[in-house]
């Protein structure tokens, strides 16, 4: 299904990436615009899985994954990466943030295991590192591999920026090319002060502490704001989502604001500001 889309994008000299994820205990929900409620078994819902049988706020109690099931998931991610290559994607990102499955393992807030996948820092990050190794081994050496993490749980007893720096150093050794730095998502009432650029310091800390390229995300909406983050060395890239949902032509507007000459698509060319 993706290959025709990617082939078309390549014909326009556009690069395409894919994000591979597992929601873990946050799974089995209805669509976001359907109150994001839990899906019943009759509606196609299922019992979710996680590192430990601890339910996320208002959601179902998950099944604790066995060691065998964890190994199968590692293989599944590798197989998904193989399919991504075959479909013509140019990069792969593993989503390990926002309270999804990998985050549920590396955060002590959600991981209460007593085996090799719980307890110590080394054990809690094991599942993610095993998956990175497996994915890196099946994609071309030249293909970029990104990993999105939550750099902090925003509470003292949770996952910390110091641990994120250490994790990022290990991911770099395994062939990760960029850390996509977000935060939160594993505690429903975390005291997050979401102001413009509030997660940029995390990206900067990991960039400097782990000596690895990072991207900054979160309430980055303006062209000059994004340009300052990169030009000042706080991050190597800025990733946008909601800003471009609100304005799909954000990049063209940003180019105008920053005085960068670009070729506009013909169907939008008459919308340029005349000077």
Known catalytic residues are 100
Residues 6+ apart with CB under 8 A from 97: 103, 148, 149, 150, 180, 182, 183, 185
C-beta of residue 163 within 8 angstroms of C-beta of residue 197: no
Q: Is the dihedral of CA 167, 173, 176, 179 positive or negative?
A: positive
Q: Where are the beta strands (DSSP E) in the chain?
A: 17-20, 49-50, 63-64, 91-96, 145-150, 178-182, 214-216, 237-238
C-alpha neighbours within 13 Å on the C-beta side of residue 191 = 4
C-alpha neighbours within 13 Å on the C-beta side of residue 247 = 11
DSSP code at position 96: E
C-beta of residue 220 within 8 angstroms of C-beta of residue 238: yes
DSSP code at position 179: E
- Residue 118 region, left (φ>0) first, then alpha (ψ -120 to 50), else beta? beta
C-beta of residue 206 within 8 angstroms of C-beta of residue 181: yes
What burial letters (b/e) apply to 37-58, b meaning 16+ CB within 10 Å? eebeeeeebeebbbbbeeebee
């Amino acid at each position: 299904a993706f290959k025709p889309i990617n082939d078309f994008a390549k014909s326009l000299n556009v690069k395409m990436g894919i994000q591979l994820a597992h929601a873990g205990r946050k799974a089995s929900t209805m669509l976001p615009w359907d109150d994001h409620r839990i899906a019943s078994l009759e509606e196609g819902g299922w019992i979710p899985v996680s590192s430990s049988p601890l339910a996320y706020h208002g959601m179902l109690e998950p099944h604790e994954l066995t060691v065998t099931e964890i190994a199968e998931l590692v293989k599944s991610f590798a197989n998904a990466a193989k399919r991504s290559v075959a479909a013509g994607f140019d990069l792969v990102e593993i989503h390990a943030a926002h309270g999804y499955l990998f985050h549920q393992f590396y955060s002590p807030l959600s991981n209460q295991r007593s085996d090799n996948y719980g307890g110590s820092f080394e054990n809690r990050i094991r599942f993610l590192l095993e998956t990175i190794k497996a994915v890196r081994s099946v994609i071309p050496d030249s293909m970029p591999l990104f990993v999105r993490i939550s750099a902090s749980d925003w509470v003292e007893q949770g996952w910390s920026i110091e641990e994120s720096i250490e994790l990022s150093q290990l991911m770099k050794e395994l062939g990760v090319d960029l850390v996509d730095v977000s935060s939160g998502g594993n505690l429903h009432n975390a005291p997050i002060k979401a102001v413009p650029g509030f997660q940029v310091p995390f990206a900067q800390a990991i960039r400097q502490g782990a000596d690895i390229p990072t991207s900054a995300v979160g309430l980055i909406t303006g062209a000059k704001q994004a340009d300052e983050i990169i030009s000042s060395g706080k991050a190597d890239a800025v990733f946008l989502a909601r800003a471009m949902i609100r304005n799909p032509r954000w990049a063209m507007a940003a180019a105008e604001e920053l005085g960068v000459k670009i070729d506009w698509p013909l169907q939008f060319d008459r919308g340029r500001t005349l000077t």
